[in-house]
Structure 1
Amino acid sequence: MNAQTQPAALAASSLNINLTDFIDEFGDELLESLNRSNPPVYTGSDNAHRQLVMDRLKRKPFAAQAEVVQAITALLLDRNEQAGII
């Protein structure tokens, strides 16, 4: 590095931040912005009818599985989406 490029390189490196520090610093604001622009489809409130269907199954899903079923059916049936990622 010559004398002219060294200050620019130092300035650029001082702007770098690792991902953990970035999330610690800006995570709350990023999450708020994301939720405003893309509100969550499932917020943890179970659909009673869907829960009744699951309660009648011979093999009942574990609690975590039942929550995923509630979430994905809210997306596919309530929001009429064509696909979802679990």
Structure 2
Amino acid sequence: MESSLHTLNNLFAQLGLPNSNDEIESFIQTHSHLAGTISLADAPYWTPAQAAFLREEILKDADWAEVIDQLNARLHAK
């Protein structure tokens, strides 16, 4: 089975968010500094469907997990 390589652009599109490089950077700048005690999926800016997708993909260690981890790290950066 061939695994697909997902990017932040693909992830934002999957989440139904604007997904150009500039739009992603703007989102990260606006929402960064997420408290370390809050998991990515529990951040207040996700819709219930977006939060469920993020949570499920991490729990399943699915092929989206790596790029979700990248987003998580960037949003928790200080």
Fold conserved between structures, TM > 0.5? no
- TM-score, with structure 1 as normaliser: 0.24
- Between structure 1 and structure 2, the one with the greater Rg is 1
User: Comparing both chains, which one has the higher relative contact order based on Cα–Cα distances under 8 Å and sequence gaps of 6 or more?
Assistant: 2
